[in-house]
Amino acid sequence: MIETAAAGSAPADAPVLVLVDHHDAGVRAPVLELLTVARGLGVVHAVWFGDGVEGALEQLGAYGVATVHQVTVGDGTAPLPPSAAEALAEVLVASGATTVLVSSTFENKEVAARLALVADAGLVVDASGVEREADGRVVTVQQAFASTWTVRAEVRAGRAVVALKANAAPAEPVEAPRTPHVLRHEVTLASDHGVRVVERTPRAASDRPELGEAQVVVVGGRGTEGDFSVVEELADALGGAVGATRVATDEGWIGHEAQIGQTGVTISPRLYIGAGVSGAVHHRGGMQASGTIVAVNNDPEAPIFEIADLGIVGDLFTVLPQATAEIRRLAAER
């Protein structure tokens, strides 16, 4: 257990730690949103696990990062959540930060929880917004019950760990980019927490944006009867990702990683288009926070029409290709 910070005692200049998710191609998109939000909370310190930070410094500086904590845990491989949390707790203490932001993936939520446990911090996951009040308290916004309720909560502890959903805020670079200062931390863990990775297979890279991060998602459901071609074509015309309902993934029409819903990927893109999606409650729980919802279904009674901004009763195999062709034609004109 690390020393407890008193409630509301955060100095205004206390750093905000942002965990940087990265892969071979660099910083993941939601991190830039986190950095943008973090600038409203304090001086931004980024935490980078592993090697390769040099190639990202310019981008991190462009988003206002003052300091980068480059952390090597054990042999340098990507740590599992218990180890990552332990390492992050060390950085938290070393930096004097009182607030930590991570993007709300399953792994990061576990990191956040275990970090908050040892740091006596308040924890909010799947937040859609976070602010610091004038008196220093951290206040968050979340969507609850399949996004039918909005909840504002305050952190009562002296430290706050917040997992922010992708697309919670637009990513904006700063006007005057900085050159981040790099601090290196070598963390030796007392144990491996009794678990090891036997095998890890990164998901094959797709030309389309990542589902959880995409601004536009086109989703196919039972109504596609397994033919996702028109869904994919519309997604590509819009530069979007392709998602699916539980029925579609269970049928094997598309991989389980494409499943949107409470137990799959939760999305909140600017634009959601559901094709042949009925809108079962489990699915709605994963997409109801979307900006604009468009639904195409041949059943006028489909529940998704109750939440669709634009509902089209029609055959997706004629409506989607027509829309795709029109969107491509308009794009060519521009």
Partner 1 sequence: MKIVVCVKHVPDLQAERRFTDDGRVDRGQGDGTLNELDENAVEAAVALVEAHGGEVVVLTMGPEDAEDAVRRGLQMGADTAVHVLDAAIEGSDAFGTAEVLAAAVRAIGAEGPVDLVVTGMASLDGLMSVVPSLLSAHLGLPQATLAAELTVDPEARTVRVRRELDHATEVLEASLPAVVSVTDQANEPRYPSFKGIMAARKKPVVTWTLADLGVDPSDVGEAGARTRVLEATPRPPREDRVLITDDGDAGLRLAAYLVENRLV
Beta bridge partners of 131: 139
Min dist CB 234 to partner 1, Å, is 9
Min dist CB 148 to partner 1, Å, is 6
CA 334, CA 325: separation in Å to the nearest integer? 15
Min dist CB 268 to partner 1, Å, is 13
Question: Per the structure block, which two tokens stand in for 205?
Answer: 């890279």
In 3D, which of 178, 175, 16 has the Cα closest to residue 102?
16
Q: What region does 252 belong to: left with phi over 0, alpha with psi -120 to 50, or beta?
A: left
- The nearer residue to partner 1, 61 or 86, going by C-beta atoms, is 86
CA 64, CA 137: separation in Å to the nearest integer? 22
- The nearer residue to partner 1, 188 or 201, going by C-beta atoms, is 201
Question: Per the structure block, which two tokens stand in for 75?
Answer: 């042999």
Min dist CB 59 to partner 1, Å, is 19
- The nearer residue to partner 1, 66 or 119, going by C-beta atoms, is 119
Which residue shows structure tokens 């288009």?
273
- The nearer residue to partner 1, 66 or 218, going by C-beta atoms, is 218
Q: What is the DSSP letter of 325?
A: H
- The nearer residue to partner 1, 6 or 202, going by C-beta atoms, is 202
Report the DSSP pairing between strands 216-220 and 271-275: parallel
Backbone φ and ψ of 41, nearest 5°: -110, -20
- The nearer residue to partner 1, 156 or 184, going by C-beta atoms, is 156
Min dist CB 66 to partner 1, Å, is 28
Min dist CB 184 to partner 1, Å, is 25
- The nearer residue to partner 1, 61 or 269, going by C-beta atoms, is 269
Contacts of 204 (CB under 8 A, 6+ apart): none
Min dist CB 159 to partner 1, Å, is 9
Backbone φ and ψ of 304, nearest 5°: -65, -25
CB atoms within 10 A of CB 148: 12
Question: Per the structure block, which two tokens stand in for 275?
Answer: 């094709």
CA 79, CA 50: separation in Å to the nearest integer? 9
Please, are residues 255 and 263 in contact by the beta-carbon 8 Å criterion?
no
- The nearer residue to partner 1, 220 or 285, going by C-beta atoms, is 285
Min dist CB 30 to partner 1, Å, is 10
